[in-house]
Amino acid sequence: MTRQPEPAGSPLVVLGKIVSVHGIRGAVKVYSHTDPLDNVLDYPEWTLRKGSAQQSVSVVAGRVQGRILVVQLKGLDDRDKALELVDWEICVPRAELPALEDGEFYWHQLEGLQVVTLEGQLLGRIDHLLETGSNDVMVVKPCAGSLDQRERLLPYLPDLYVKHIDLAEGVMQVDWDPEF
């Protein structure tokens, strides 16, 4: 494993996090944000990040174990060394993500969009999204020009509430009552 800075012009996307160690031979337990969760194994090279520190690692093998993955990284064969990687984020360059079908979006594309009602009222900007189990939820925080200073939680349901997304304009139009 070598430490290296993020290449210029290649922003990273977080795909998961190392949450624990597994066994005595340096395997790590990974919580994956991908769907399905083992899609993170499609990327043979990861950039691990914790604060401003980064390092590149190569994936040797991985398998699903319940709701997590057990992953062996190249050159990591000691439990104590693996413990040092707990709480590091797993990142890949944004350019390596597969193209999506029309109407599909990655979470990082939605974060920062202004959220506007059908009547043109600005509710705020999408700060981040939450995975709940039934559906994803957008955390919309107030911004300059927003209707009020309330934080709102809106379900990300494209057929029901999300009516239009324009990434170029940075706007999402929703069918949502501002009083909720």
Residue 82 in 3-state DSSP?
helix
State the DSSP H helix or E strand holding residue 110, giving kind and residue range, or none if neither.
helix 107-110
- Tokens 């009020």 correspond to 148
Q: Respond yes or no on whether the N-terminal peptide bond of residue 36 is cis (omega within 30° of 0).
A: yes
The domain segmentation of the chain, as residue ranges, is 12-94, 107-174
**The CATH number, out of the four listed (2.40.70.10, 3.40.50.720, 2.60.40.680, 2.40.30.60), of the domain defined by the range 12-94:** 2.40.30.60
- What topology is assigned to 107-174 in CATH? SH3 type barrels. (2.30.30)
- Read off the pLDDT of residues 49-62 as tens digits, 9 standing for 90 and up: 999 999 999 999 99
- Read off the pLDDT of residues 136-179 as tens digits, 9 standing for 90 and up: 999 999 999 999 999 999 999 998 999 999 999 999 999 999 98
What lies within 8 Å, CB to CB, of 117 at 6+ separation is: 123, 173, 174, 175, 176, 177, 178
d(CA 89, CA 158): 29
Predicted TM-score (pTM) of the model is: 0.74
What is the CB neighbour count within 10 angstroms for residue 79?
15
- Tell me which amino acid residue 146 is: S
The pair of three-digit structure tokens given for residue 133, joined into one six-digit string? 């189990």
